[in-house]
Amino acid sequence: MSAARDVILPGATLGVLGGGQLGRMFVHAAQALGYGTAVLDADAQSPAGCISHHHIRTGYEDAGGLSELARRCAAVTTEFENVPAGALDTLAASLPVSPAGRCVAIAQDRAAEKAHFVRCGVPVAPHAVIETPEQLAAVSADLLPGILKTARLGYDGKGQARVQTAAELAAAWDALGRVPCVLEKMLPLAHECSVIVARGRDGAIVHLPVQRNLHRDGILAVTEVYEGNLPPAQVRQALTAAQSVAQGLDYVGVLCVEFFVLQDGSLVVNEMAPRPHNSGHYSQNACDVSQFELQVRCMTGLPLVPPRQHSAAIMLNLLGDLWFPPGAADQTTPAWDKVLALPGAHLHLYGKTQAKPGRKMGHLNITAATPEAARATALQAAAILGIEAF
């Protein structure tokens, strides 16, 4: 079949496993291009399901739900990596699925993920896999102090423990239930960055600019993207590594690769996310093609045009804590009117009905002609909302 006939044109229906905020923004992008959408998520109030043409309210492994999704859709994607890889494989028997279940399975397992990075020749932190008491006893003292992370189902700082000694390591492994883990040596970090790449079925690959990130309590807080946010050598290294990771997987879809930048200026790969990512949200307002449109283009076989950034940008993550300011007796709606009075402020709320501390409720993109102007406005917004300055 020719590549042209493989293209799924607007008018078709596209499906997504997962009804969270990333699914919601994918649905917005797909609908803007003229596609119908279907969301599979058991939550009747899921942010993506509430705005989609079709909401299939079943679990991810429900045979009836998967059959209905396959029947309605011309192609399917996923909005987060903890969707069962087997569900993607089931769907792939009857329609295009991107990313593939095998790619998601690797991203779900830190040990497999680290092994893939090593195969691709990209630098990783010194580490050890711990699945048995024997492997625990064999851990080199050179890896301490370190961070013990569960191999599966860890995100936003969950399933992790910092350990200084062999005794602390053993106690932490016990506390985590002796599940398979990866111990990573703690390195002298300067900051963090990430790259979002999009790769098509034909092997074409494009990328967004490299993003400089600030995390607080294991959750992304601020992303800054503009010319000069990182030294050119670091940018080149991050782009080369991310492309190698995608090509090594024969990946189709949007992929985020996160890096630690060490104090000596070198980079090591931290982890990958087989989907759009918080750090790419700025692209909705600062680029001519967003990460979510790239997701649509990948799964439909539409051309992957290189995104162009037209404005300096800063993204602020909006957590549920903002609805509970210090000293307030009750939940309070943040002063969005004051925020939206600022030049270049673009508010994205996810339609979640209940705010909770630590819950991702939305993000704020600030765009401006210069990095200095974007930063000044972002700091004003942060002050209004009660977000710590950066």
Q: Do 62 and 68 meet the contact criterion of CB atoms below 8 Å apart?
A: no
Is 61 one of the annotated binding-site residues? no
Q: Do 36 and 51 meet the contact criterion of CB atoms below 8 Å apart?
A: no
CA 63 to chain centre: 27
Pick left, alpha or beta for residue 156 (phi over 0 → left; psi -120 to 50 → alpha; otherwise beta).
left
Is 203 one of the annotated binding-site residues? no
Is 155 one of the annotated binding-site residues? yes
Count of Cβ atoms closer than 10 Å to residue 327 Cβ: 5
* 267 strand-pairing partners: 261
Distance CA 302, CA 10 (A): 10
Is 338 one of the annotated binding-site residues? no
Is 184 one of the annotated binding-site residues? yes
Is 301 one of the annotated binding-site residues? no
Distance CA 18, CA 285 (A): 24
Distance CA 214, CA 148 (A): 21
CA angle centred on 256, ends 37 and 121, rounded to 5°: 140
Is 114 one of the annotated binding-site residues? no
Is 136 one of the annotated binding-site residues? no
Is 299 one of the annotated binding-site residues? no
Distance CA 339, CA 360 (A): 18
Helix (H, G, I), strand (E, B) or coil at 249: coil
Is 360 one of the annotated binding-site residues? no
Q: Do 314 and 370 meet the contact criterion of CB atoms below 8 Å apart?
A: no
Q: Are strands 75-78 and 13-17 parallel, antiparallel or unpaired?
A: parallel
Q: What 8-state DSSP symbol labels residue 124?
A: B
Is 160 one of the annotated binding-site residues? yes
Is 356 one of the annotated binding-site residues? no
Distance CA 101, CA 78 (A): 10
Is 131 one of the annotated binding-site residues? no
Helix (H) or strand (E) holding 325: none
For the annotated binding site for ATP, the residues are 110, 149, 154-160, 184-187, 192, 215, 270-271
For the annotated binding site, the residues are 110, 149, 154-160, 184-187, 192, 215, 270-271
